[in-house]
Structure 1
Amino acid sequence: MTQDAPHQPYGTPDTPRVAVRGEARLEVDPEIARIGITVSARGTDRRTALQDLTRRNNTALDLVKSYGDAVEKLETGTFSINPELTRHGRAERIRAYHGRVHITAELADFTALGELTTRLADLELTSVDGPWWALRPTSPAHGEARRQAVLEAVQRAREYASALGADLSALVELADLGAENALPFQAATSGTGMRTMAYSTTEETAPPLDLEPQRQTVYAQVNARFTMTPPQL
């Protein structure tokens, strides 16, 4: 009974292997921008606070929806209404109620974005945070970064083989280490790649903001292993 030849993870003198890493880093324009909208209300009783909060929330939602296709996504996040307590002697009494609703809007039209943020800021007890610039998960920029990383890996391996007087003969393995936007929306809380604007209401309507989109970094990295012809040592 014959036994199979032992596996040679590092190649053999007749069929040596070369392992390289290919990397690519692209700077591209963002495709979408997200803003956070916070609507607030305060009342001496719960019903008044809820009524004011509902009215202001509906006003903010209607304004965002009025931009039609420029708004790709509109979501309501957290809602809260909390009593403000004050102490009189040994007893605690409710002085007022504070309510808040958080809304997130995603836009691809950056001209509309500047106008919308200004109009939202003019609403009663409404604040705006952002924008957070990003690429869509399906952006062609991700695929382009991966292709460039593979091309670099092949070129690097070819240069190593050439230095030994050899040629690449076959691809053994290509490992994708990930190619993703370096500035995802979820990581925006770290402050990297994020622009924050806080607005307060004004008596006169302010002109639309001229927002300069922040370019995004797309990074891809692969590991590749090739076999090559015997080197000329």
Structure 2
Amino acid sequence: MTAPELLPYGTPETPRLSVRGEAHLQVDPEIARLSIAVTARGTDRTTTLQDLTHRNTQALNLLKSHSNAVEKIETGLVTIAPQLTEKGRHERIRSYHGSVYITATLTDFTILGELTTRIAELPFTRVTGPWWALRPHSPAHAEARRRAVQEAVQRAREYAAALGAELTALLELADDGAEHTGHAAPPGGIRRARAGGYAGAAPAPELDLEPQQQSVHAQVSARFAITPPRL
């Protein structure tokens, strides 16, 4: 037999008060991510691989040349696959398609517009983004939690005062789950592909990108002991 659940209602001599505290912050992003897809295609597997390797190196070198602004470069999925003709008795390989996916994390937004357009100018390269975000351990999360606790205490004091009572002790404080609501790519996010480049091309125009603010939410539940109310 299980023990009966203890109800947290308190008694007339030691009443309890439960409240919830919340905080919502709008803060500037700390990082921006660009998704880069480098592709190659051809009728010969070796040539396609060579083209893909060369274009991947071009993209990586361009990112590394901005090492002061680019915090992290990560290579994701790599594919090289044959493209077949229609299925049937005479099925054969028509061509080869290859792709490399790269994610670049930037901390300096002043170079973001220029770097984005320079990447988009690379042959057979697509860039998508930016994706604005906060770091996992951003001070904004701690600030939101602090404000949520402060609001819980303030609420409890106001409820107690309305009863002619005072807070005497904190019995419990529970984190209801701090939540960061980041924003996906802004409408009209950058998508640009080039089928090829040419020598002597004019410099790519620099995009003017405005960082998108991030929403940070924290919520706590608190239970207090209060003096007997004056009813």
Q: Could you tell me which residue of structure 2 aligns to residue 171 of structure 1?
A: 170
1:198 aligned to which of 172, 188, 191 = 191
Question: Is the counterpart of residue 215 in structure 1 residue 204 in structure 2?
Answer: no
Task: Tell me, in whole angstroms, the C-alpha distance in 1 between the residues paired with 2:14 and 2:87.
Answer: 87
In the alignment, structure 2 segments of 5+ residues that lack a partner are none
One-letter identity of the residue aligned with 1:140: P
In the alignment, does 2:226 pair up with 1:228?
A: yes
User: What's the offset of the Cα at 1:177?
Assistant: 1.4
Map of 1:72-221 to 2, 5 A cutoff? 72-87=71-86, 90-183=89-182, 192-195=183-186, 196-201=189-194, 203-221=201-219
- TM-score normalised per structure 1: 0.90
Cα distance in 1 for partners of 2:28, 2:88 equals: 60
Amino acid at match of 1:157: A
Counterpart residue identity of residue 219, structure 1: H
Secondary structure at the counterpart of residue 69 of structure 1: coil
1:155–1:89 distance in 2 versus 1, CA, 3 Å: closer
Aligned residues of 1:122 and 1:205 also touching (Cα < 8 A) = no
Q: Distance in 2 between matches of 1:81 and 1:96?
A: 11
SS at match of 2:223: strand
Secondary structure of the structure 2 residue equivalent to 1:91: coil
Q: Which has the higher helix share?
A: 1
Q: Structure 1 residues 168 and 122 mapped into 2: Cα distance closer, same or farther (>3 Å)?
A: same
Change (3 A) 1:7 1:70: same
Runs of 4 or more, structure 1, over 4 Å off, are none
Question: Once superposed, what is the RMSD of the aligned Cα atoms?
Answer: 1.6
CA distance in 1, matches of 2:125, 2:156: 57
Q: CA deviation at 1:8?
A: 5.6
For 1:193 and 1:161, locate their aligned partners in 2 and report how far apart those are by CA, in whole Å: 42
Residue-pair matches, total: 220
Shift of 1:124: 0.4
Q: Quick check: 1:25–1:219 contact (8 Å CA) kept in 2?
A: yes
Q: Name the structure 2 match of 1:3.
A: none
